[in-house]
Structure 1
Amino acid sequence: MRQNRLFKSTALTAGCLAFLASGSAVMAQDESDDEFTIEEVVVTGTYLKGKSQFNSPSPLAVIGAENLNQIGASNVADLVQTLTINNGAQNNPDAFTQNGTTGTSNFNLRGLGVASTLVLLNGRRQVVAGTVTNDGIAFVDTSSLVPQIAVRRIEIVKDGAAAIYGTDAVAGVVNFITDDDFEGVEASVKYQTLTDQGSQSDKLYQAKFGWGNDTTHFMGAFSYYDRSQLTTAERRLSQVSDDSSVLGNPGAYYVPSIIGVVGAVVPVIDPTGCEEFGGQANVAVDIGVARIGTCGFDFGDYFSLVPEEERKQAYAVITQELGDSHQLRIEGGWAETEAIRGNSPTFPYLQLGQAGVPAYHPANPFGQGVTFLGRAIGNGGEVSPNLSTSDTYRFNVELTGDINDVWSYDVGFTIADNRYVINTEDVLTANFQRALAGFGGDGCDLAAGVPGANGCLFYNPFASSFTTLPNSPEVLDYIIGTQVIDGSSNTKVFDAVVSGTLGSTPAGDIGIAVGMQYRNEFWGRDYDDVSNSDGFAFLVGNPDFSEGRSAVGIFAESLIPITDQLDLSVALRHESYGGDIGSTTDPKVSLLYRPTDSLSLRGSYSTSFRAPSVLQVAGGTTSLEQVSDPSSGGTAFAAIRAIAPEGGRTIRPETGKAWNFGLSYAGDSGLSVDVDYWNYSFTDVIIKENSQSVVNGFSDDPDRVIRAPGTNAIIMVIVDFLNASSVKTQGFDVNARYAFDTDYGTIQPFFEATHVLKYDLVDPQAGAVDGAGNRNFANFGSPTPSWRFNTGVSWTTEDHDLRFYVRHIGGMDDDQNAGSRVGAMTTVDAQYTFNIGSLFDGGEGSSIQVGVINAFDKKPPYVSTNGGYESRTHDPRGRMVYAKLTAAF
């Protein structure tokens, strides 16, 4: 009876898990029930063996290697872009909303934050990146995790799993599982390119090798990813008004004599030129002797919609049977990424108190000392490159085996390290002032005291620099420096789990697992000396900081078969941190009911706990973001700064509750249906204050919103890390698939959708916010369309595979631009794969594949903002075509 029940339940699990993969990765690989019943697999979300292979009481999505191939994914970000359960992941790094994450990718399940989804590799925790998002959140960089060719499948637990895995698993878990048992050789090459507005392309080269005998097995993989950039000059999604700054070059000036005439501190447009050199004359009034206003600058053509990237990755795993059912497994990984993103030629010069131009300046047309209002290089300047490098190393060793016929053990140690360095050019405040006074240049003899002589150079801020008095490369090199942010992160984790059975009920054995985990984390940032002294004119700077901490968790989990149809799962975890964070105890209770062999009902309840990160407690950040000024109606690109007070911050842990109720049907007719209702409620949510919320709430507070004299333009916003009040979100996921055989192959239509019923936020400044169907620009939430769905159909035979996909992302209210909407977007993809392995012996797995993404070349919906689109929701690229060749031996 028990064997029969296990066989049927496992087969049902296989069908449901394969079905769950159908929408996100869109179509599961065809595998028979027999293959699933004999293969021992890890099911994410439990430490129990055997009976954990039953239908999971938690909602799962399983994305196999073939699924990644079937959607034409070149990287993990391509997968995340298709997931209906994901909102607000930061995978399109730009200078406006994702300034410090170029070359990375992450998950954001349910829009609850990139740090609220726990990312695992083969069930083990991984190091967070040495950089953070604009809102100061540390995350695991999934792009640097493992070569894609080494992945066997990705399992996603779509409800809270903190009771199993601890902190960060509040929204769910994503577990990358590698193809350890692979034998043979497989290599592939893929090329993808745009067909319109830009020559951006992706090249991906991958290979893996596997060998084994009765006691030893080795698998190694390597990948090389080469991505060229897509610039805003090639594909401009924004309007000039979205990307215009009042601070340009040519610029404007505060002139004492003019101030005396008009009786107010007002700027004067450079009288030697503005429009004729590409500037935008924003004239408030022409008083004859001067034009009152600014000479604006359109910076929209200087940025990258897609950064240039080069990534190398290697991964290897060796397993050794030690006899008596004991096994040693050693795993290592390495990733190196270099990414370049474009910025404007120079940022606005915000240190107005140190921008005085003396009367003796040879290019000064005013005949008196004035104050410069603009930027060092503007119109006609070249793109300023922002360079990011990331190096990741991982090592894991684990020992598994049987203690006796009933009990087994799993002991593992993981150490991982990431170093992420950002290089950004900006004007040096002190050098700029010296050069304006005629004492610029590395060879200047200041002691001689003669401006413009003895190796000393003038920097010319006036429009005459475009004609008769150009600035020399030497003086430009002198006034422009490079901010270097050297971030480092390290994680050490020791896990030990013992599992087995403990007694029985009439329905079967009671499974139990108990274990402990010790984690040690370090995170720090080392800034250059200029940044340490706040010496950059726009980026300002930041003090160095670093801090480590440790946590200890103990946990237990049990699966109790109440009847042949009903299982009860319970889990409990206690986790304790050093310092002021404290400890927590979190339970999870799940029920799984199988009234028939084809139908299962499930429900779960859990609590969660997320500790503040090292950065949130003790660190600080300065980022660059766009804000709208309620006093003027205009927009500004400003420095957003958070500095930890002496002794750090007191931040309470974030706590939450999660409910899930669902059903799965997998009948013999080929129809599969899965429905899940989910509900999350969080309190004391840890956030960095939203800069727009601070501007809206403290527009006239000079301690929070710092403005430029005269123009009153916002130049800096002071924010902090703190506990927000709450987030409540609920909705449902629907998946359906129907497969039927014909004389011409198998046809399989499918549908997957996520509907967000509620996404209610309480923001410290914005107050209560209905975030469902909202862009959430002016609060700490994620952009959240109410509806997302994927649908389509596939046709497969032994040698042919043809697929069509339709992907829809619903519209959103635009809270940055009152009364505006971000439109809905629907795209169509198609792919054809031919199995060339059937043409020759030993070529099973070899194929030629061609495909198109966004076949009708749809642009992302327009948003009146820097860049012109919502980068956390939509892909800025248009139609993409690709071809891939895979050879297996």
Structure 2
Amino acid sequence: MKFTAKRTAIAALVAAQLSALPSLAIAQEPEETEDQARDVELILVTGSFVRRSENFESPSPLAVVDSVSIDAIGAKNIADITQTLTINTGSENTPDAFTQNATAGTSNINLRGLGVASTLVLLNNRRQVVNAQQTNEGLNFVDTSSLVPMIAIDRMEIIKDGASALYGSDAVAGVVNFITKRNYEGAKVTVDYQDGAHGDNKEYILQGLWGASFDKGNVMAAISYTNRSPLFLSDRRLSRPQDDTSALGNPGAYFFTQGPLAGTPVIDPFGCAEFGGFPQLLAPPGTVPGLDIGLCGFDFGPGYSYVPDETRVNAYVKAAYELTDEMTWTSEISFARNRAERGGAPSFPILTGPLVPATHPNNPFGQAVVFFGRAEGNGFEADPANTESDTFRFNTALQGELENGFWEVSYTNATNDFLFTVEDVIESEFILALNGLGGGGCDPINGTPGQGPCEYFNPFASSYTNAPNSQNVIDSFSGLQRIDSNSDLEVLEGFASFDVFDLDGGVAGLALGAQYREETLSQDYDALSNQDAFTFVIGNPDFKDSLDVWAAFAELALPFTEDLDVQIALRYEDYGGNIGDTVDPKLAFNWRASDAFSLRGSISTSFRAPSVFMRNGGATTLQQLSDPLIGGANAFAAVRTSGNEELTPEESQAYNIGFSFEPIDDLSIELDYWNFDFEDLIIQESAQAILNDNPQDPTRIIRAGDPLNGPLVQVNNTYVNASELTTNGFDIVTSYRLETDIGTFVPNLTATYITTYDLTDPQAGEIDGAGRRNFTNIGVSSPELRANLGLGWKHDIYSANLFVRYISSYDDDQNCAGNDGSGVPPGGCGSAGLQEIDSHVTYDAQFSVDLGTMLNTQTSYLLTVGGINLTDEEPPQVFTNSGFDSKVHDPRGRQLYVRLAVEF
């Protein structure tokens, strides 16, 4: 096999498969000579194990985004690409404490809104290790922030109709394959600077690429460094104070334990509003002389961040060597080191209902009372949460030529170490401090309350005036929760592809292969967490488990005629144990009815096994819930999820039908209809649905004070097999190339319209989720229409791109229309209906100039300036924590950037 640089099929596919392009950048290529046209290279295209020629058109809807298009949208990282794709919905690329408690600094892909674990992410056709820290929903995903430096990516290819028959169970929604540059020679350096319109949100990116070819092979290395400064809610407040207000504050509230007011909350009599609190009266003033029945709310929003403070280092090396004329050895090594710090509150709510004794010197009630609040609130500095993620990946492969085909054997070993740390209150130490036995030097057995080194912690508002707390006593009950997670992946696979017989349209190809993979996941909690010692994050037991999978697969490519290609694929996977095995087929075709019109279609089944975490793991997350007992008002509570070993695999069927049409020269139209049907879908039970179903179930709903009517503090849930999810819709892409005296213009449109997103939720019942936020059920936010309208221009050494991005309005099932965010009452919204989340339009633009050509230098200098969301549109307001839907919209506002790329 020769390492000569040839134009691959992807250059042709970019024009033919526009359905992936979030934008269209114009690239000019020299015309091929007749000899070059005959020198056709056979390559592997994502979605097939049979090598194809350059003019092959995939029977599956294959979307391609090349490096030119990536640069055209001003993408600084993979998340910038995926969030512009209309086929992607519900991904978590700016995770914060409200939507993703412990995965700050990560990003992922969610094709069709089927879940971040339902899209298989590949790098050069190889599997990637999943992130060891799961999402709030308990899903372990491939962190796209930890793949490779952006400068090394040549293109990304996306199969949009499901590909389990070829790649395995986690390709349910499709495959995204990131392909690095090949046979690169030279050196390239890029410097990016991006500045946000709000706060100190800036981003610096430095990247380098080097490659060289020699007689028997080539080597390429890339490295990138990213530094992103944070954006806090206080820098751009999208929410109202009440949206981020917790009922547990400091000043706080207290429950009487005896007498006629037993179980009734009263606001701190030393003050609430005067110290920054928000009184929430539950009875008219004067109901109890001298006391206000209710709670003292705390606005925890300002200390939290929309965008965490991040640093990333990514490195990648790839080498290939010809062992013989028929055999090549390739190896890849990549490493990613990501660090992120997101803002938080001064301290978490204390959910354990500690008792303040009657003997406490600051207790004004004359009896023991239950404290309903937090250790530190208004006026205190926020405590951050930190994530440290290290990902290492090694792959080595042998490829060889057969007389009428080729073979390949590869081994992949990858690991992700993920450490999450956050500060919380230690329950036992806090109780000691309330009883006068706090402080670092206090002996709780022999010490005297409030004397010598033993101190009282004062939870009352008098701590703001005449009885402040010392840092010593606060430190004595503060602890750091550490979750040290590890995810390992080993894959050994091999396949062979060869010609089998002749058909009218060419030679039929057959591919046969086998794969073994082992996935291991472990989470090691600190000793305090193992004892459920914390008052909010509580804790969790350690766990470690693994999953072994054996697979065999086959693919048959049948060119029945010059105009009709058929693909038949079949995969068998065996998980062993209670999960069992599966056989999944796929049938696809492409019929070129004329030079201007082609028709494609596919149908397949899939099988997704429960993950290691879903079967054996467990976690406690923080979620905002609407409590039916208090009229649907929002409450911030812990949701504790336990694994379920009784889970069964989920099964699905997908089909796609589409066409490509070129009615006139340079005008291309593509339309696809897609449909996914899931049964026994594995989901985390909706805490909101559990709460709505029975808000007074003491086995699953934990309340402070009165176990049936007290304030909500915790919901217990697990993973279950839901009944069904059906989603379908249309993808449309059209583009026209117009040559003029002032340059080449390419207007283009990419859009996805979701016609159906129907859910059967175990608690919420039958849900029509299209055009809905799906806050109260198992789905994800699903605006019905997403569209990108672009205009590309190129003339001589100049080029420019303009984009208009549209997201349609959708309903917020957390709030009723006209009630200003007070939640959905138990009886529903009635004639008012759900609150509408407004449609959203943003404008991006970019201009580039080839300075190297302008200055007539041998070195290439490309200067690019641009802006994202140029008009600084705010994301539509949602009456929820942080004030917007983080799974749909970007909170950063206008981002201006400049890039200098120097290539030697």
TM-score range normalised by the length of the shorter chain: over 0.9
Cα offset for 1:294? Answer: 1.7
Asked whether the 8 Å contact 2:137–2:684 carries over to 1, the reply is yes
Match of 1:846, SS state, is strand
Asked whether the 8 Å contact 1:393–1:417 carries over to 2, the reply is yes
Cα offset for 1:372? Answer: 1.5
2-structure distance, mates of 1:828, 1:881: 12
Q: How does 1:469-480 map to 2 (within 5 A)?
A: 469-480=467-478
Which is worse superposed, 52-61 or 322-331?
52-61
Match of 2:90, SS state, is coil
What is the TM-score when the length of structure 2 is the normalising length?
Answer: 0.94
Which is worse superposed, 665-674 or 474-483?
665-674
Number of positions where the alignment pairs a residue of Structure 1 with one of Structure 2: 871
Cα offset for 1:794? Answer: 1.3
- What whole-Å deviation, never above 9, does each CA across 1:783-839 have from its counterpart, x for those lacking one? 001101000211102310111100000111111113201111011111001111213
- Paired letter, 2:318: V
Corresponding residue for residue 74 of structure 1: 76
Cα offset for 1:841? Answer: 5.4
- Paired letter, 2:736: Y
- Aligned pair 1:836/2:832, yes or no? no
2-structure distance, mates of 1:323, 1:505: 32
Corresponding residue for residue 412 of structure 1: 410
Corresponding residue for residue 878 of structure 1: 893
- Aligned pair 1:823/2:825, yes or no? no
- What whole-Å deviation, never above 9, does each CA across 1:723-767 have from its counterpart, x for those lacking one? 100111111100000011111110110011101111111000011
Asked whether the 8 Å contact 1:186–1:209 carries over to 2, the reply is yes
- Paired letter, 2:702: I
2-structure distance, mates of 1:466, 1:526: 39
Asked whether the 8 Å contact 1:789–1:809 carries over to 2, the reply is yes
Distance 1:53 1:684, change over 3 A: farther
Asked whether the 8 Å contact 1:542–1:620 carries over to 2, the reply is yes
Corresponding residue for residue 148 of structure 1: 150
Corresponding residue for residue 799 of structure 1: 797
Once the two structures are aligned, what percentage of the paired residues are identical?
Answer: 46
Match of 1:98, SS state, is coil
- What whole-Å deviation, never above 9, does each CA across 1:235-276 have from its counterpart, x for those lacking one? 1111111111121111122245xx52x444212222222221
Corresponding residue for residue 693 of structure 1: 689
Match of 1:446, SS state, is coil
The one of 781, 794, 801 aligned to 2:779: 781
- What whole-Å deviation, never above 9, does each CA across 1:175-227 have from its counterpart, x for those lacking one? 000013111110011111112x3120111110010011121211000000100
Corresponding residue for residue 54 of structure 1: 56
- What whole-Å deviation, never above 9, does each CA across 1:443-485 have from its counterpart, x for those lacking one? 1123323112242121111112112221111111111111111
Q: How does 1:346-361 map to 2 (within 5 A)?
A: 346-352=347-353, 355-361=354-360
Which is worse superposed, 498-507 or 219-228?
498-507
Asked whether the 8 Å contact 2:661–2:669 carries over to 1, the reply is yes
- Paired letter, 1:618: N
Corresponding residue for residue 636 of structure 1: 635
Corresponding residue for residue 661 of structure 2: 665
Asked whether the 8 Å contact 1:740–1:747 carries over to 2, the reply is yes
Cα offset for 1:670? Answer: 1.1
Cα offset for 1:369? Answer: 2.7
Q: How does 1:407-806 map to 2 (within 5 A)?
A: 407-632=405-630, 633-644=632-643, 649-666=645-662, 669-710=665-706, 712-806=710-804
- What whole-Å deviation, never above 9, does each CA across 1:625-645 have from its counterpart, x for those lacking one? 11111221211111111123x
- Paired letter, 1:707: R
Which is worse superposed, 595-604 or 406-415?
595-604
1-structure distance, mates of 2:449, 2:261: 33
Asked whether the 8 Å contact 1:624–1:640 carries over to 2, the reply is yes
- Aligned pair 1:808/2:810, yes or no? no
Corresponding residue for residue 363 of structure 2: 364
1-structure distance, mates of 2:798, 2:41: 26
- Paired letter, 1:321: E
2-structure distance, mates of 1:615, 1:671: 49
2-structure distance, mates of 1:584, 1:543: 32
Asked whether the 8 Å contact 2:255–2:262 carries over to 1, the reply is no
Q: How does 1:264-413 map to 2 (within 5 A)?
A: 264-283=262-281, 284=283, 285-286=285-286, 287-352=288-353, 355-404=354-403, 406-413=404-411
Cα offset for 1:880? Answer: 1.0
Match of 2:343, SS state, is strand
Q: How does 1:229-268 map to 2 (within 5 A)?
A: 229-256=230-257, 260=259, 262-268=260-266
- What whole-Å deviation, never above 9, does each CA across 1:644-680 have from its counterpart, x for those lacking one? 3xxx511111111111111113477211111111011
- What whole-Å deviation, never above 9, does each CA across 1:398-450 have from its counterpart, x for those lacking one? 0001132x021111100000011110111110000001111112211233231
- Paired letter, 2:125: G
Corresponding residue for residue 867 of structure 1: 882
Runs of at least 4 residues off by over 3 Å? 7-14, 25-42, 839-845
1-structure distance, mates of 2:901, 2:344: 38
Corresponding residue for residue 831 of structure 2: none
Corresponding residue for residue 15 of structure 1: 15
Asked whether the 8 Å contact 1:28–1:63 carries over to 2, the reply is no
- What whole-Å deviation, never above 9, does each CA across 1:342-376 have from its counterpart, x for those lacking one? 11111111111xx2222332322333332222110
Corresponding residue for residue 830 of structure 2: none
Cα offset for 1:32? Answer: 6.1
Question: What is the RMSD of the two structures over their aligned residues, measured on CA atoms?
Answer: 1.8
Match of 2:561, SS state, is coil
Asked whether the 8 Å contact 2:42–2:51 carries over to 1, the reply is no
What is the TM-score when the length of structure 1 is the normalising length?
Answer: 0.96
Distance 1:40 1:782, change over 3 A: same
Distance 1:8 1:99, change over 3 A: closer
Corresponding residue for residue 823 of structure 2: none
Distance 1:518 1:667, change over 3 A: farther
